[in-house]
Amino acid sequence: MSKESDNLGNLEKLALRKIWKNEASEFTPWLSENLNRLSDALGFELELVDTEVSAGSFSADILAKDTLNDRYVIIENQLTKTDHNHLGQLITYSAVLDAYAVIWIAPEFTDEHKKALDWLNDHTDDEISFFGVIPELWKIDDSKPAIVFNVISRPNEAVRDLVHRKNFGKLSELRKRQLDFWQKFRNKLLSDGILKQLRKAYSDNYYDLSIGKSDIHLSNKVLFNKNEVAVRLYIRNTLADKWYPFFYENKERIEREIGVKLNWDNKPGRRDRLFL
């Protein structure tokens, strides 16, 4: 027997309250500063908007945004087993704050609450998604504890794909071509391992890619009538005055690394300032 096996440590699971005694004053502030850890588990990037956000007579623990589509994401935390009150609050928050994703975090989900999330995902469209997440603390021997986010409920892509296929016949021929193009584009990126976080393909003439910053993303476009494809760096007005000069000052280096000349657009009021 290999002597290496003698060096294996003992894996120990810790209670969340060993680190965070209180959900509101300890766990929520910690999570708001470490959304990247949760993002890695979910497969899309989150950016903090605020904590304890008013939603009618209640307050959502964390309000974030998906950096790709700039839409609201609600995060509700518990350090105890899930209950009906929180389920009702989550649905209320999503309606009041017009969220497109709801994330429920708890150390234990009842079967009924997991089924409720699964049912909501199977009976709603892409405009709203529900996630159930179980955080776990682990350590090896005397090591520092490490947190793991286990996603136990998320939208069923097979079910939603079935709905899309049923609606496929209702699409125009142009939209069918666009959907097919972006599906192949997405599959290529996935197979090459270029990006890990990719949204579903739709029948639009564009497909956006996150670069980890809200208000800035790559927007890919296909124009079949002109036999053209384009890639734009999409910058919202709130950041354009800051970032456009930075990119333009590095114009030669950027074009050299990309290998082509770019069209530089600095028209005031435009969201898209730099595009190819």
Mean pLDDT, the chain, as a whole number? Answer: 84
Task: Give me the number of domains the chain comprises.
Answer: 2
Q: Is 166 among the domain residues?
A: no
| Pair (206, 267) in one structural domain | yes
Judge whether 165 lies within some domain: no
- Are 153 and 196 members of one domain? no
Q: Please tell me which of 71-85, 114-128, 224-238, 239-253 the model is most confident about, judged by mean pLDDT.
A: 71-85
Does residue 38 lie in a domain region? yes
Residue ending a domain, choose from 160, 182, 204: 160
pLDDT in tens, 17-57: 999 999 999 999 999 999 989 988 887 788 899 999 988 77
> Does residue 17 lie within any of the structural domains?
yes
276 — pLDDT class (breaks 50, 70, 90)? very low
Q: Are 13 and 138 within one domain?
A: yes
Structure token pair of residue 174: 């142009």
Tens digits of residue pLDDT in 154-208 = 887 655 555 555 555 667 888 888 888 988 888 888 888 877 667 777 778 888 8
Instruction: Return the sign of the alpha-carbon dihedral for residues 229, 211, 214, 235.
Output: negative
Amino acid at 155: P
**Cβ atoms within 10 Å, residue 206:** 15
Out of 41-55, 80-94, 127-141, 259-273, least confident range: 259-273
Do 146 and 25 have their domain in common?
yes
The pLDDT confidence band at residue 2, using thresholds 50, 70 and 90, is low
pTM of the predicted model, to two decimals?
0.69
Whether 11 and 131 map to the same domain: the answer is yes
Looking at the structure, do residues 146 and 198 belong to the same domain, yes or no?
no
Please report, for the domain that includes residue 36, its CATH number. 3.40.1350.10
Residue 217: which pLDDT band, with cuts at 50, 70 and 90?
A: confident
Are residues 86 and 11 both part of a single domain?
A: yes
Domain containing residue 53? 7-160
Give the helix/strand (H/E) hosting 48: strand 46-55
Structural domain includes residue 12: yes
105: helix, coil or strand? strand
Q: Stretch 121-147: mean pLDDT, rounded?
A: 90
Q: How far apart are CA 5 and CA 226, in angstroms?
A: 63
Question: End of a domain among 160, 188, 216?
Answer: 160
What is the CA 153 to chain-centroid distance, rounded?
Answer: 15
